[in-house]
């Protein structure tokens, strides 16, 4: 007899003991009675016991049924999940619930299989003839019961005789892909094609998402060029809402400085052991290539690599680099996946089908058995902090904890490290590596311009914009405030419109003619009179993106202006339209 420690997906700080006649591998799911229900739980531990060893004061219940034949959680994850529960003071059941793919704690689809013994039992007439419906691939249990009318009770009886086996079914859903179009062979393009606009366009852009190119050029032309073998399609796993083509070199060589840093990190981590490392490299310094080389070293010694990336809409250079070099060997775990895609990727990781796991914050719980390295890219990014779920956590901090528990190196990378990480690096708690040069581009010249008297677009900025426009180039203007004016004041009594919930000033949105709280979304839908003095003259103070757009359109009336913020570009379709213009 076995005493089984089971975690249930409930907001409780404890796990529960059940009895089982057979040994159950930790990490499999079991169906157990709880109060008057049946619940799905996760086996955490299984100990052999005798009747005498059991406490007489507890009325132990029996496990109803094991659901899996192999574990959904590898052994190295149990300690980590316990640690998370204790550190973040979160019930263990909830930690399991957020760590595992959604749907794991609901009853899975099950398949029924016939054993050799079962086949004999049919021949000998012990097992009903209907069981011969079950071929080698098995049969969906629910449909089998529907079709044959045989009760679950009988089926369980036959199962105990080992005539049949019941297994949980896992979805085999592939992560959706994004198709890009590119020139097939640059050198072999014949004269007749090379004058085409689409060819010169692709020469410059290299790879362009199919959906964007289809908006730009006639479908017929694309189709015939694909058929003629001038163009070809490439597919990448869809990692972000918007995939951009980024120029990935087929070959590359590390610069002397990159090489020096790579060697430094390699020497530090190649013998294993917990090593926290901060790789501080300015944008364009080639951090991604160093990651790539380090990953190769870890793969060589049989380790798997977990790469955490922030939650953003666009693909990063590093992601495209990894997808280009390791495509088949990558699993993705991010919030854009459907539950079945997520579970499917989870199983690929468990079954050792992949070497590299790329994912956003919750991927820190990925079921990797031989984890050899964790990389946290853009470690300063606020999206690593999970604040909405019942279990709140910081994935960067958890990466360090998991690294410590598994005794492996952890690389935090950033062009703008968090103060916390930089402080620990300076204190010597982390190993610090700095990449301060851009091998193929110079750092931009940064100039602080004071405009007196104040003008939203200073004379100097206006001149610089003109210069670029005359060269036929685009100009980006950044402002960290959306809306038209972040402050609205009554000109007569100086009343300031503010949010009744948050107490902060409301932002005026001109397009909507409304006042909006950017914290709680409180809204006053039309701005008419001052509630304090009944005056109707108001002052719009400071500037948001809407105001900048208005101003720029006034100064450059003939130039096309696109505003990209949450108000103007709030759907994927709109973002695509904008990107199409930029491409």
Residues at the interface with Zn ion (CB under 5 A):
490, 492-493, 495, 499, 501-502, 517, 519-520, 522, 530, 532-533, 535
524/517 Cα distance (integer angstroms): 9
**In the complex with Zn ion, which residue's Cβ is closer, 399 or 527?**
527
Nearer to Zn ion, 13 or 519 (CB): 519
User: Do residues 488 and 497 make contact, with C-beta atoms less than 8 angstroms apart?
Assistant: yes
- Give 219 or 520: the residue with its C-beta nearer to Zn ion: 520
CB 270 within 8 A of CB 301: yes
* Smallest separation, CB 567 to Zn ion (Å): 17
Two structure tokens written together for 389? 């779920």
- Closer to Zn ion by CB, 36 or 526: give it: 526
d(CA 530, CA 331): 57
For the chain, first and last CA: distance in Å?
67
Give whichever of 64 and 492 is closer to Zn ion, judged by the CB atom: 492
Q: Cβ of residue 522: shortest distance to Zn ion, in angstroms?
A: 4
Of 416 and 532, the one with the shorter C-beta distance to Zn ion is: 532
Give kind and range of the element (H or E) at residue 487. strand 487-490
CA distance 412 to 430: 9
Give CA–CA dist 85/93, Å, rounded: 9
The residue (of 252 and 522) whose beta carbon lies closer to Zn ion is 522
What is the C-alpha separation between 30 and 69, in angstroms, rounded? 10
- With a CB cutoff of 8 Å and minimum separation 6, the contacts of 448 are none
- The nearest distance, CB 180 to Zn ion, in angstroms, is 42
Q: Which is nearer to Zn ion, 331 or 499 (CB)?
A: 499
Express the helix, strand and coil content of the chain in percent, nearest 5 each: 35, 20, 45
Residue with tokens 């991010």: 334
Closest CB 515 distance from Zn ion, rounded Å: 11
CB of 438 within 8 A of CB of 284? yes
CB of 390 to Zn ion, least distance (A): 24
Task: Establish whether the linkage from the previous residue to 135 is cis, with ω within 30° of 0.
Answer: no
Write down the least CB distance from residue 213 to Zn ion, Å: 43
Of 401 and 490, nearer to Zn ion (C-beta) is 490
Greatest alpha-carbon span in the chain: 100
CB of 388 to Zn ion, least distance (A): 18
Q: How far is the CB of 269 from Zn ion (least distance, A)?
A: 47
Q: Are 38 and 31 in contact (CB under 8 A)?
A: yes
For Zn ion, the closer CB: 70 or 528: 528
Q: How far is the CB of 566 from Zn ion (least distance, A)?
A: 16
The distance of closest approach from Cβ of residue 540 to Zn ion in the complex, given in angstroms and rounded to an integer, is 14
Closest to 239 in 3D by CA, of 319, 136, 159, 151: 319
Q: Closest distance between Zn ion and the C-beta of residue 487, in Å?
A: 14
Q: How far is Cα 95 from Cα 580, in angstroms, rounded to an integer?
A: 42
Residue with smaller CB distance to Zn ion, 391 or 485: 485
**Phi, psi dihedral angles at 555 (to 5 degrees):** -75, -40
Map tokens 């009853």 to a residue: 107
Helices H, strands E: what count in the chain? 18, 26
User: Nearest to residue 486, comparing CAs of 450, 518, 445, 513?
Assistant: 518
Using DSSP bridges, classify how beta strands 304-308 and 356-359 pair: parallel, antiparallel or unpaired.
parallel
Choose among 54, 335, 301, 394: nearest CA to 175.
335
């Amino acid at each position: 007899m076995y005493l089984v420690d089971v975690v249930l997906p409930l907001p409780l700080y404890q796990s529960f003991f059940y009895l089982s006649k057979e040994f159950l591998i930790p990490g499999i799911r079991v169906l157990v009675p709880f109060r008057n229900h049946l619940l799905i739980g996760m086996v955490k531990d299984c100990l052999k016991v005798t009747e005498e060893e059991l406490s007489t004061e507890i009325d132990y219940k029996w496990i109803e049924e094991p659901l899996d034949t192999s574990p959904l959680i590898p052994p190295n994850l149990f300690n980590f999940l316990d640690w998370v529960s204790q550190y973040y003071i979160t019930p263990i059941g909830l930690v399991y619930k957020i760590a595992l793919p959604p749907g794991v704690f609901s009853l899975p689809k099950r398949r029924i299989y016939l054993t050799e013994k079962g086949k004999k039992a049919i021949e000998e007439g012990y097992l009903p003839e209907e069981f011969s419906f079950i071929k080698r691939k098995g049969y969906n249990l629910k449909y089998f019961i529907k079709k044959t009318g045989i009760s679950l009770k009988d089926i369980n009886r036959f199962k105990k005789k080992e005539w049949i086996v019941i297994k949980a079914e896992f979805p085999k859903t592939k992560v959706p892909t994004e198709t890009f179009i590119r020139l097939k062979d640059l050198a072999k393009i014949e004269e007749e094609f090379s004058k085409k606009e689409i060819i010169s366009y692709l020469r410059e852009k290299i790879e362009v998402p199919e959906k964007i190119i289809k908006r730009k050029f006639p479908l017929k032309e694309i189709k015939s060029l694909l058929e003629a073998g001038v163009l070809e399609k490439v597919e990448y796993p869809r990692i972000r809402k918007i995939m951009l083509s980024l120029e990935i070199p087929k070959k590359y060589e590390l610069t002397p400085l990159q090489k020096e840093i790579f060697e430094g990190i390699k020497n530090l981590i190649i013998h294993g052991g917990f090593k926290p490392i901060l790789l501080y490299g300015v944008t364009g310094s080639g951090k991604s290539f160093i990651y790539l080389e380090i990953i190769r070293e870890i793969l060589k010694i049989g380790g798997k690599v977990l790469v955490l990336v922030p939650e953003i809409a666009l693909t990063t250079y590093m992601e495209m680099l990894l997808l280009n070099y390791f495509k088949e060997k990558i699993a993705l775990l991010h919030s854009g996946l459907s539950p079945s895609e997520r579970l499917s990727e989870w199983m690929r990781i468990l079954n050792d089908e992949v070497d590299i796991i790329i994912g956003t914050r919750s991927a820190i719980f990925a079921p990797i058995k031989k984890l050899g390295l964790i990389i946290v890219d853009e470690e300063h990014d606020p999206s690593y902090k999970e604040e909405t779920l019942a279990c709140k956590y910081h994935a960067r901090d958890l990466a360090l904890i998991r690294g410590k528990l598994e005794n492996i190196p952890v690389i935090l990378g950033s062009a703008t490290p968090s103060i916390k990480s930089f402080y620990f690096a300076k204190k010597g708690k982390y190993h610090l590596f700095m990449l301060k040069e851009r091998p193929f581009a110079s750092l931009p010249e940064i100039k602080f311009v004071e405009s007196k008297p104040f003008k939203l677009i200073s004379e100097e900025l206006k001149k610089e914009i003109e210069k670029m426009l005359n060269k036929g180039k685009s100009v980006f203007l950044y402002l960290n405030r959306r809306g038209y004016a972040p402050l609205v004041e009554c000109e007569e009594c100086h009343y300031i419109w503010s949010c009744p919930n948050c107490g902060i000033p409301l932002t005026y949105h001109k397009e909507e003619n409304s006042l909006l709280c950017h914290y709680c979304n409180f809204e006053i839908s039309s701005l008419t009179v001052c509630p304090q003095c009944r005056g109707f003259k108001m002052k719009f103070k400071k500037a948001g993106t809407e105001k900048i757009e208005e101003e720029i359109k006034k100064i450059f009336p003939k130039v096309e202006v696109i505003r990209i913020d949450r108000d103007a570009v709030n759907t994927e379709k709109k973002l695509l339209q904008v990107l199409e213009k930029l491409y």
